[in-house]
Amino acid sequence: MGYERQKDFGTPEAKSAEQVTLTIDGREVTVPAGTSVMRAAAEIGGDIPKLCATDNVKAYGSCRLCLVEIEGARGTPASCTTPVAPGMKVKTQTERLAKLRKGVMELYISDHPLDCLTCSANNDCELQDQAANVGLRDVRYGYAGDNHLGLETDVSNPYFDFDASKCIVCSRCVRACAEVQGTFALTIDGRGFASMVSAGQEVDDFLSSECVSCGACVQACPTATLQEKSVKAIGKPERAVVTTCAYCGVGCTFRAEMRGEQVVRMVPWKDGKANHGHSCVKGRFAWGYANHADRITKPMIRESIDQPWREVSWEEAIGFTATRIKAIKAEHGARALGGITSSRCTNEDVFLVQKLIRAGFGANNVDTCARVCHSPTGFGLSTTFGTSAGTQDFDSVEDSDVILVIGANPTDGHPVFASRMKKRLRAGAKLIVIDPRRIDLVRSPHIEAAHHLPLQPGTNVAVLTSMAHVIVTEGLADEAFVKERCDWDEFQDWARFVSDERHSPEFLESVTRVPAKELRAAARLFATGGNGAIYYGLGVTEHSQGSSTVMAIANLAMATGNIGRRGVGVNPLRGQNNVQGACDMGSFPHELSGYRHISDGATRKLFEDDWGVTLDAEPGLRIPNMLDAAVDGSFKAIYIQGEDILQSDPDTRHVSAGLAAMDLVIVHDLFLNETAHYAHVFLPGSTFLEKSGTFTNAERRIQPVRRVMDPANGYEDWEVTQLLANAIGCDWNYTHASEILDEIARLTPTFAGVSWDRVDSGEPLQWPVNEKAPKGSPIMHVEGFVRGKGKFVVTEYIPTDERTGPRFPLLLTTGRILSQYNVGAQTRRTANVVWHEEDLLEMHPTDAENRGLKDGDWTKLASRAGETTLRLQVTDRVAPGVVYTTFHHPLTQANVITTDNSDWATNCPEYKVTAVQVTASNGPSEWQEEYEALSTRARRIEGAAEMEPAE
């Protein structure tokens, strides 16, 4: 499409089954009851002038520009605040209205600079458009009176400016911050002529205020008051391409607004089914990493990891790699080879990498980063429901009455969905938070959790079982639902188990540290409060009983009848943009795409016939097993696409030892990441802006990724994989990602009805998309569970082996922060660092005082796995005995501390529980100093000027 703003209907869509017919300017229109006259007019192509109205926020009725005449009504009502009525006759363009509107516009323009030709919003400004719309030719009042034209611009935010001299105080930004984002950082300060948009308190600017830089205010602004710095620097976009964000699992869609091959800005697409026109600081603004100076665009090789890198041609790099792969296979066998797919890459990229490993290398040693995040979700939900995916679409939350958030921090990890959730909470839904840390949702503007259960890390199963105890023993279970939908005998076994006194909140209080009274109240609320929805994250899965916790969550949902309709369900919040897709595409070592085990002969034959190879019938190694086998000497080569396991995976020393033991490490990435310290081959990757394909978000929604510029490295990622495959003897001839999607659909029952044409058309597609569900499946288990009857599973609480003691008396738990994403490889290479320059260690004041530590002190954080240093933040967000940090910065090396404990069913690492000690420190640990030296050494490039460490 060329560049034009998305159509703005002025007021939000009304949701009503009742239809109303009226006449506007002689044309009949039928709309849902509750629709505004303004929107009804827009639906039939009308364009009532407006300034304070926009369809992302409720009507406000302040600008008085949208006045209309309604037959039989007195005066000239504002069309934005006037709902349609049957038989209503509206006139939007009359002489009387024109005079009124022109008068209103004159007042606005009398206090607005007339610098349109040099303004960054020239020709993309609603105020300018409306001035033209009303035919403004003169301002009778002149410009000499009191005005705001000399006000200074607030440039504190790294991504947008606030030029108060251009503000018309329409309040759209304030309302977007409140209604859409839910942060309430903005307000109108002062009264009358002194009214001004203000961020935070008087002393604040945008950066120091509570603003989370989501961009909703910038999007809402009808002038150049709030505008992206990139537009000021580059100019007005000339075209827009709708594509899908490459950050978290929410899967927001954006218009990439371009000039030539340069992104001017990313603007959330109002028709996006996951985000409905909203965004967060990452997707909206933090895309600058794509052109960061650290980006490597030429292939590089080296004989050994102590040598500097040597830039080579693609032919030489691929030839070097293929020769080594073939030699290792000849000497050690196919099972010495493997690879890791990326949840940041497209379904098509992922599918080809696992195909390369299975069909090209000849082994099933393929795994993906879901291993270290949501693999327990797969096991737990598959066991209980029969399929592993989240049960709802995001819109479902609009019908929830009680929302239980456990082990997730949506405002930071999944901010756009968190805004939807907060909107529902402000409308009256109740909130239960189960988290060791007081996350923002517990108490923030206009939001307060009914119950916060600050459990001891590692006791999720005990807490959920005691909630089940309350529900069953107090007769609150929905037995009618259970009898109809679940295995009744298994329910009774489970009910007997949870009813045992040893699972009561009172008995378990000493273990969970959750006050029994509070836990009972939370359980009662969840069971009796109406539609109950559970949202969870890695605070559930990354434990030694991660899979058991997922099953306990499923048990709770089934026992209370909260499955199979809108407003309820079990919802894993996926960390990365394509975690769901990477799992769907056969990234796990034991299964092919569509969750079919590699040992199944008929499934293997399907792929063998299609691919013309013989597949190994045995499961391959998982990521931690690959590293163990490497240390053991039986695993020799790895191809890693778009993952940085040295920083993201637990027990960094062990990961280092595993990588160092391999004969060939191939890193395919945008940057020389931490893992590349141990690599022999670096294959430059392409960003999401440089390739075509699909991502599948946390709602199972398959969305298009559209190439908006040529890859800086010359190839899309799947093309690089194809080059390598063909160099080792495969004969692949894909010419576009759509051909890979065709192959996925041909070989994968859940994708049977999916094609590039359908994805490209914007049709909503949530898998399964097949003959039974040709339009996809927004909500699962509606008629019955995929497995037939829902299965209750007895989940015995088994404490982790990771215990506190005299040496390590505190428990460390980890998480992430709004401005950063995963290991920070992308976000640290953007201005987002202003919000998070380093990882900090949060500690309760009591623990800090006992150790003589104060805010800002350098501290040594030590576990049985290793030690690091970082600065302290004293806060009562964490309970006494618990400390918390993030893992976004490589020099912090938080994963030097985490251990090799893992989930019993899936080997998902136990990131969330590590026994530690914290003491005062004078500086970096020995490991950190050695690591910094290694980083400098490992990133040398032959012939290049001395390279600064990229990280």
Residues 490-509 that bind another protein (CB under 8 A): 497
Here the tokens at position 947 are 């390279």
Among 391, 466, 547, 832, binds another protein (CB under 8 A): 547
| Nearest distance from C-beta of residue 599 to another protein, angstroms | 7
Here the tokens at position 207 are 């950066």
Among 225, 396, 603, 673, binds another protein (CB under 8 A): 603
* Residue 597 within binding range of another protein, rule CB under 8 A: yes
| Nearest distance from C-beta of residue 658 to another protein, angstroms | 11
| Nearest distance from C-beta of residue 629 to another protein, angstroms | 6
* Residue 631 within binding range of another protein, rule CB under 8 A: yes
Q: Which helix (H) or strand (E) holds 235?
A: none
**Helical segments of 748-852, H only:** 756-760, 845-850
Asked whether the beta carbons of 345 and 641 are under 8 A apart, the reply is yes
* Residue 653 within binding range of another protein, rule CB under 8 A: no
Residue 664's beta-bridge partner residues?
637
Among 355, 596, 680, 700, binds another protein (CB under 8 A): 596
Q: Which is nearer to another protein, 96 or 803 (CB)?
A: 803
Q: Which is nearer to another protein, 378 or 539 (CB)?
A: 378
Q: Of the candidates 370, 306, 332, 303, which has an alpha carbon nearest to the alpha carbon of residue 632?
A: 332
Q: Of the candidates 328, 372, 321, which has an alpha carbon nearest to the alpha carbon of residue 634?
A: 328
User: Cis before residue 505, ω within 30 degrees of 0?
Assistant: no
Q: Of the candidates 791, 732, 784, 3, which has an alpha carbon nearest to the alpha carbon of residue 348?
A: 732
How many whole angstroms separate alpha carbon 615 and alpha carbon 606? 11
* Residue 465 within binding range of another protein, rule CB under 8 A: no
Q: Which is nearer to another protein, 634 or 755 (CB)?
A: 634
- Residues 739-768 close enough to bind another protein by CB under 8 A: 749-750, 768
| Nearest distance from C-beta of residue 334 to another protein, angstroms | 11
Which residue pairs, CB below 8 angstroms and at least 24 apart, start in 737-740? 737/346, 737/348, 737/691, 737/692, 737/693, 737/694, 738/692, 740/348, 740/351, 740/352, 740/693
- Residues 302-341 close enough to bind another protein by CB under 8 A: 335
Backbone angles phi and psi of 719, in degrees to 5: -70, -35
Q: Which is nearer to another protein, 416 or 554 (CB)?
A: 554
| Nearest distance from C-beta of residue 662 to another protein, angstroms | 15
| Nearest distance from C-beta of residue 691 to another protein, angstroms | 24
| Nearest distance from C-beta of residue 630 to another protein, angstroms | 11
- Residues 180-239 close enough to bind another protein by CB under 8 A: none
Query: Which range binds another protein by CB under 8 A, 20-28, 351-359, 466-474, 787-795?
Result: 787-795
- Residues 267-306 close enough to bind another protein by CB under 8 A: none
What DSSP state is assigned to residue 778?
Answer: S
| Nearest distance from C-beta of residue 374 to another protein, angstroms | 8
Query: Which range binds another protein by CB under 8 A, 411-419, 661-669, 736-744, 905-913?
Result: 905-913
Among 861, 908, 918, 938, binds another protein (CB under 8 A): 908
- Residues 340-399 close enough to bind another protein by CB under 8 A: 364-365, 367, 370-371, 375-380, 382-384, 386-389
Q: Considering CB under 8 A, how many residues would be counted as binding another protein?
A: 71
| Nearest distance from C-beta of residue 750 to another protein, angstroms | 5
Q: Which is nearer to another protein, 628 or 932 (CB)?
A: 628
How many whole angstroms separate alpha carbon 389 and alpha carbon 381? 7
* Residue 460 within binding range of another protein, rule CB under 8 A: no
CA 517 to chain centre: 35
How many whole angstroms separate alpha carbon 936 and alpha carbon 947? 8
DSSP string covering 670-707: SS--SGGGG-SEEEE---GGG--EEEE-TT-BEEEE--
How many whole angstroms separate alpha carbon 416 and alpha carbon 579? 17
* Residue 241 within binding range of another protein, rule CB under 8 A: no
Here the tokens at position 470 are 């309350």
Residues sharing a CB contact under 8 Å with residue 410, sequence separation 6 or more, in sequence order:
417, 418, 421, 441, 535, 537, 573
| Nearest distance from C-beta of residue 902 to another protein, angstroms | 8
Query: Which range binds another protein by CB under 8 A, 10-18, 95-103, 530-538, 591-599?
Result: 591-599
Asked whether the beta carbons of 163 and 227 are under 8 A apart, the reply is yes
Among 58, 91, 236, 590, binds another protein (CB under 8 A): 590
Q: Which is nearer to another protein, 138 or 771 (CB)?
A: 771
Residue 187's beta-bridge partner residues?
198
Asked whether the beta carbons of 715 and 732 are under 8 A apart, the reply is no
Query: Which range binds another protein by CB under 8 A, 43-51, 181-189, 687-695, 791-799?
Result: 791-799
Backbone angles phi and psi of 381, in degrees to 5: -75, -35
Here the tokens at position 47 are 């364009």
Among 161, 584, 649, 651, binds another protein (CB under 8 A): 584
Query: Which range binds another protein by CB under 8 A, 321-329, 420-428, 593-601, 668-676?
Result: 593-601
- Residues 823-882 close enough to bind another protein by CB under 8 A: none
Q: Which is nearer to another protein, 113 or 589 (CB)?
A: 589
Q: Which is nearer to another protein, 135 or 788 (CB)?
A: 788
* Residue 651 within binding range of another protein, rule CB under 8 A: no
Backbone angles phi and psi of 398, in degrees to 5: -65, -20
How many whole angstroms separate alpha carbon 797 and alpha carbon 593? 33
| Nearest distance from C-beta of residue 927 to another protein, angstroms | 22
Q: The sheet that has 569-572: what strands, in order across it?
A: 451-453, 430-434, 402-406, 532-536, 569-572
Among 489, 632, 929, 942, binds another protein (CB under 8 A): 632
Among 905, 915, 916, 950, binds another protein (CB under 8 A): 905
For residue 96, CA distances in Å to 46, 77, 107 come to: 18, 13, 17
Q: Of the candidates 83, 101, 71, 87, which has an alpha carbon nearest to the alpha carbon of residue 37?
A: 83
Which residue type sits at 675?
T
* Residue 459 within binding range of another protein, rule CB under 8 A: no
Residues sharing a CB contact under 8 Å with residue 389, sequence separation 6 or more, in sequence order:
381, 580, 700, 767, 780
Query: Which range binds another protein by CB under 8 A, 319-327, 526-534, 602-610, 680-688?
Result: 602-610
* Residue 599 within binding range of another protein, rule CB under 8 A: yes
How many whole angstroms separate alpha carbon 222 and alpha carbon 51? 7
- Residues 792-811 close enough to bind another protein by CB under 8 A: 793-796, 798, 801
DSSP string covering 10-43: SSPPP--S-EEEEEETTEEEEEETT-BHHHHHHH
Residue 718: CA count within 13 A, CB half-sphere: 26
Among 167, 527, 621, 870, binds another protein (CB under 8 A): 621
| Nearest distance from C-beta of residue 703 to another protein, angstroms | 19
